[in-house]
Chains A and B, each alone.
Chain A
Amino acid sequence: MLEHYGPQLVNLLAAVLLLLAFAMLSQRRILSLINLFAAQGLVLFMATGLVAMITGQTHLWWSAGVTLALKVFLLPWILHRLIRRLNVKWDVETLVNIPTLMIFGIVLVILAFNLAAPISQLAGTVTRATLGIALASVLLSFLMMITRSKAVPQVVGFLAMENGLFFAATGAVYGMPMVVELGIALDVLVAALILGVFLFQIRSRFDSVDTRHLERLKEE
């Protein structure tokens, strides 16, 4: 039963992940951006748990737990506090118009799938299709970072990219070894904290967290 539906479920979750990535790409409001990020974390957690269930690899449970703690609760919480303190809560970001962004995103997805297709064939895992999706979501969040000019969305994009990587690890290879997983998680956490501190300092310097103010160092 699980053996039968598990993989399909995982693929479903992968699709949801990709959908969320697109949503984040097109999301204007910071607050909902963070919520979407949290949702992505949740999906990631479920996917990891599911894979753990299917394969019965214990360390995947651990990483699922870490994901839950980190990506679903801790980081979103930090971000929420951040935007409340910086009171950019209701900030609305003006992006390049969304349709073009969507089209470009779709191109990226196609590229990612094409790239991943030959690899997935090799994969011994039940969830081989997910690699392409993971790659796609990584590229999408990269694209998102490029198109955002405010600091917080860039941070979110950065973290979302980490989500994509996690998903790649889980989907393609049933997760990296434990040490590495933990190390990565730690890095992400520290990174988030440091970013938080930075945002405050930047804010206190330029009373704004718009990265357009960060364009003084350049060549004339």
Chain B
Amino acid sequence: MIDMGLPFAGVDGALAAAAAWIALGLAAMAAPASLALCRRALYPAGAVVGLALAVVALGSLGAPPSARVLPLGLPELPFHARLDELSAFFLLLLGAVAACVSVYSVGYIRKDDAGAPPGLQCLCYHVFLASMALVLVADDAYFFMVAWETMALSSYFLVTSDHRHAEIRRAGYLYILLAHLGAISILLCFGALQAGSGNYSFEAMRNLQPAAGWASVAFLLALAGFGVKAGIVPLHVWLPEAHPAAPSPVSALMSAVMLKTAVYGLMRVTLDLIGFPLWWWGVIALAVGLASALFGVIFAAVQSDMKRLLAYSSIENIGLIVAGFGLTLLFRGFGMGGLAALALAATLYHCLNHAFFKSLLFLATGSVLHATSERSLGRLGGLIHRMPWVAWCALIGSAAIAGLPPLNGFVSEWLLLQAFLLTPGLPQGYVNMLVPVAAAAVALAAALSGYVMVKFYGVVFLGQPREARLAEAHDAGPWERSSLVALASGCVLLGLAPSAVLAALEPVTLRFTGYTLSALGGGWLFIAPIDPDRASYSALLFAAVAAVLVLAAWLSVRAFYHGRARRAPPWDCGYPWLNARMQDSAEGFGQPVKVVFGPAFRIEGEAPSPRDPRPRYRETAEDRLWYWLYLPVARAVERVTALVSVLQRGRISVYLMYSFATLLALLFFIR
């Protein structure tokens, strides 16, 4: 396990990083209109800070928790900050991703006179980063909520930075509204946890043991509140709207890190503050998570906007994470520490992986967006020839997110499935029944994500360009390139060195489940979560052998035969008039999923008649939940409003009558 002594307490380092980010943001306000300032100085500095934060977090993973009280906040309740293993892990994630995204932003931000001035965006960006860091180190309810809502507000401003488009405004509104509702529910969760003691510091909540009833209320409130931010079904509606609306670096940050802060909050409340999860909480989390996973991936498969597709895929991954977390709770609830450790490790591992490949893909879409100013899959294609760097990095990202060995996505799914395979040991009949179904759902989601990624990559980067102007597309600049490469290599490394990652995760699992994985065997080359005889996996060996075999095949073909190749127009079964419109469109590629999972969608569209001279085909697959859940609520509110406004009809004698009636009623009431 990694242990590098820090000269100072980890929490101070984290707070310093947050302060530095805020300072950078404020510095941008010195010259809000100057692009050069942000590009030359602030974003690079931000990247450095992110790197430093990552180092600090890595260093304090092994170290004992460090706490600090700031002279801010409410009189009785100053800001408590504390950095324990869990915070350290998520801070590591934040720092690494933030560094890459900041580097990318240096190359990404352009002069845009219409949207918000660059200085303002820089401010919001860095405040966003800082608030996420503060969320992760906050150690009392008030500090946590302040950081949490600041995060929501700053990201809202980032999402709406180009607010001239109505749909972007709508997306931002939906986002901030749901975020606020979630925040209120989190607030109430803390209110339930402090149980009338009036002490809102997490320390106090840790110490006092709420009654099971209150604890369950708190858990459900937390699941709802953090679930909104994480985007689990049915609270996900804001996510596919907001992520595409935001500038790509922001989408990357939101998807890669912000969703994880919600996971962090859920873990913090359940495993740490409450401390004694009940097993049925795990069942709920499991069910919700799997539902989100399937929902997300199914909807991702039918999207025709590349950023929406990635947003839905985020819902899927978060679903898997929540499912893994539910499994952790299940094991904890039945007191199986070792298995809980396994599930927790898988969950955290997947958080890390998702942070890497999802930010990689979002940044890649950002480069595509800049090169082609096109987001719709229907007008892209063949970019692997125009922008090879982006294309190859994106290939790694896609393979990783599809959960293919030997990349990182596979490792976490492998661990997760292992955890599932161990559930038959549970002392609860119905849960045992649940397991095969759950495992099947996970497998199905994984396979479908492969489908989605083939669609995404194939339509964007392969085939023929669907528009003429894609020929002018240029590859990403050096800054963007370097950050893409960094993230891609991150995906590879996380995939090839699982034992190191698991070692880094040990302190977390040790603190929250009392067990570690490496204690159960393995070694540096193999990972064997339970025991080597039961299951083991060595990405390195695996990849090496595969590479050797591929190379051997190639070389021997070269050796025994020849390497001659002739270029010619595509054959296409001899059909001579091939053009780009003959390829599958994004909708076409989604068709099988629409057919197979028809009931999940609310499909409407029209097909052209056979002898239509200019045939047009339109089909939209919408989210049923929108019509089942959200619109009815809105209508109900409308109705109540209409009812209430009867109070204000403008006639003065009626008003007088109100106060008269009130008076008389009260006079009766007291007699």
Interface residues of A (CB under 8 A from B): 111, 114-115, 142-143, 145-149, 154, 211-212, 214-220
Closest chain A residue to B644, Cβ basis:
A219
Which residues of the other chain, B, contact A214 by a CB distance below 8 angstroms? 650, 652
Given A115-B667, A211-B653, A220-B645, output 6 extra A-B contacts at Cβ < 8 Å: A111-B667, A114-B671, A146-B660, A215-B649, A215-B651, A219-B649
Residue contact B660 to A211, C-beta cutoff 8 Å: no
Residue contact A149 to B653, C-beta cutoff 8 Å: yes
Residue contact A111 to B664, C-beta cutoff 8 Å: yes
A88 and B653 alpha carbons, distance in the complex (Å)? 20
Residue contact B657 to A146, C-beta cutoff 8 Å: yes
Which residues of the other chain, A, contact B660 by a CB distance below 8 angstroms? 142-143, 146
A111-B664, A114-B671 known; A146 vs B651 contact (CB < 8 Å): no
Residue contact B645 to A146, C-beta cutoff 8 Å: no
A215 and B651 alpha carbons, distance in the complex (Å)? 5
A108 and B652 alpha carbons, distance in the complex (Å)? 21
> Which secondary structure dominates chain B's binding surface?
helix
Which residues of the other chain, B, contact A219 by a CB distance below 8 angstroms? 645, 647-649
- Size class of the contact patch on chain B: 10 to 19
A111-B664, A114-B671 known; A147 vs B649 contact (CB < 8 Å): no
A152 to chain B, nearest CB (A): 14
- Is B166's beta carbon under 8 Å from chain A? no
Q: Which one of A148, A154, A218 contacts B649 once the chains associate, using CB atoms below 8 Å?
A: A218
A99 and B334 alpha carbons, distance in the complex (Å)? 77
Interchain residue pairs A-B with the least CB separation, the first 5? A218-B650, A219-B645, A215-B650, A219-B648, A146-B656
A21 to chain B, nearest CB (A): 15
Residue contact B652 to A211, C-beta cutoff 8 Å: yes
17 contacts between A and B (CB under 8 A): A115-B667, A142-B656, A145-B653, A146-B653, A147-B653, A148-B653, A149-B653, A154-B652, A211-B652, A214-B652, A215-B649, A215-B651, A215-B652, A218-B650, A219-B645, A219-B647, A220-B645
A138 to chain B, nearest CB (A): 10
A115-B671, A146-B660 known; A217 vs B653 contact (CB < 8 Å): no
Which residues of the other chain, B, contact A111 by a CB distance below 8 angstroms? 664, 667-668
B99 to chain A, nearest CB (A): 54
Which residues of the other chain, B, contact A216 by a CB distance below 8 angstroms? 650
B302 to chain A, nearest CB (A): 42
Which residues of the other chain, A, contact B647 by a CB distance below 8 angstroms? 219
A147 and B645 alpha carbons, distance in the complex (Å)? 23
Closest chain B residue to A218, Cβ basis:
B650
Closest chain B residue to A151, Cβ basis:
B652
A10 to chain B, nearest CB (A): 25
A114 to chain B, nearest CB (A): 7
Which residues of the other chain, B, contact A145 by a CB distance below 8 angstroms? 653, 656
B489 to chain A, nearest CB (A): 62
Which chain B residues (68-88) contact chain A, with CB distance < 8 Å?
none
A49 and B112 alpha carbons, distance in the complex (Å)? 83
Closest chain A residue to B670, Cβ basis:
A115
A218 and B646 alpha carbons, distance in the complex (Å)? 9
Residue contact B650 to A217, C-beta cutoff 8 Å: yes
Closest chain B residue to A145, Cβ basis:
B656
A156 and B180 alpha carbons, distance in the complex (Å)? 51
Closest chain B residue to A108, Cβ basis:
B664
Among B647, B649, B650, B652, find the residue whose CB has the most chain A CB atoms closer than 10 A: B652
A94 and B653 alpha carbons, distance in the complex (Å)? 14
A111 and B260 alpha carbons, distance in the complex (Å)? 64
Which residues of the other chain, A, contact B651 by a CB distance below 8 angstroms? 212, 215
Residue contact A218 to B648, C-beta cutoff 8 Å: yes
A216 and B668 alpha carbons, distance in the complex (Å)? 34
A16 and B664 alpha carbons, distance in the complex (Å)? 24
A153 to chain B, nearest CB (A): 11
A111 and B661 alpha carbons, distance in the complex (Å)? 13
0/1 interface trace, chain B 471-503, chain A, CB 8 Å (1 if under):
000000000000000000000000000000000
A4 and B270 alpha carbons, distance in the complex (Å)? 81
Which residues of the other chain, B, contact A211 by a CB distance below 8 angstroms? 652-653
Among B645, B647, B660, B668, find the residue whose CB has the most chain A CB atoms closer than 10 A: B660
